Amino acid sequence: MGDTFTTKHVNDAMNKGVAEARPKATTDDLQRAIPTRDALRYVKNDTYVADVSSILGRVYYEKIGNDALVPFFISIAAAVDPNTKLSTPQTVSELIVDSKIKGNAEALSFLSVDLNAEELLEVRVINNATARVVDKGDEWEKAIEKWLNNPQCQKLINNPTVGTISIVTGAVQKYFTTKKYKKFEAGAKGGGWGVNVEGSLYTSTSQFDLSVIYGLDLVTFKQVEDVNEFVENIARKNIVKEPAALAAVRKKFDRMAMSRPSLFRIADRPDF
């Protein structure tokens, strides 16, 4: 008669050298792999993207009374820092995520995966493309000056119904490859792949899924009365820094992003 293997037997055998145990990701692990900052926004896959740097310099403004930011149809033609562009994709991290930690990562909320207490998610985070503008010095000032010389841009800034103005200064395209695992139980069916997590076997029958997320760095300038005050804020780098004010901008940006088919397409002309 054959041996009867219990879940404990399998886990003990695995831990004797069959597979090295991997830890579950901590909040710090997630922060390193998927940073969260007041001025950083994540958006879902955008099928109109040809080059991640195409969104750099994009302008979004707050219209008093609206609950979402409004895209402006004229971008700032800022120079791209060549040192910020990747020559090849970079694997940032490989994580084992449980249901509690998944809820703490903003970018992971875009993944269409639900986890229960007996399930884990293996996540590989890859920076596929990055770009950042040169946002200081003569090049930056010349780009702003050229933008401000456009009458439509002056009209935007002088409009009393316009509040804060946000500019995209950095962008990253992140690939997430994910696979769901379930805690092994002797006698249960399925499980073509296995992983040792903190001494327990988790198995999976699924292939890796790919999700694409974009992270955008925003710099937000306060409401001004006229172009001269806006120029002064640019020169002094007088930007919105207060957590509560940035949280309000984030919320309005997210509402705008959810309502549009693409952030990378040029916006319509304003209605003022």
Tell me how far apart the alpha carbons of residues 14 and 192 are, in angstroms, rounded to a whole number.
Answer: 15
Q: Any residues with CB less than 8 A from the CB of 216 and at least 6 apart, and which?
A: 40, 41, 42, 43, 55, 168, 170, 171, 263
pLDDT for 19? 57
Locate the DSSP E strands across 2-69.
Answer: 40-43, 59-63
Contact 41, 253 (CB under 8 A): yes
pLDDT for 9? 46
pLDDT for 142? 92
Tell me how far apart the alpha carbons of residues 46 and 263 are, in angstroms, rounded to a whole number.
Answer: 7
φ, ψ dihedrals at 44, nearest 5°? -75, 175
Question: Which tokens is 124 given?
Answer: 């590989």
pLDDT by 10s per residue, the chain, length 272: 445 455 554 455 445 555 578 899 998 998 888 888 778 888 886 666 768 899 999 999 999 999 999 999 999 999 999 999 999 999 999 999 998 887 777 778 888 788 898 999 999 999 999 999 999 888 998 999 999 999 999 999 999 999 999 999 999 999 999 999 998 876 455 555 788 898 888 888 778 899 888 999 999 999 999 999 999 998 888 999 999 999 999 999 999 998 888 887 766 666 66
Q: What length is written for the chain?
A: 272
Which of 106, 66, 95 shows the shortest CA–CA distance to 270? 66
* DSSP labels, 192-259: SEEEEETTEEEEE-PPPEEEEEEEEEEEEEPP-SSHHHHHHHHHHT-B---HHHHHHHHHHHHHHHHH
Beta bridge partners of 119: 182
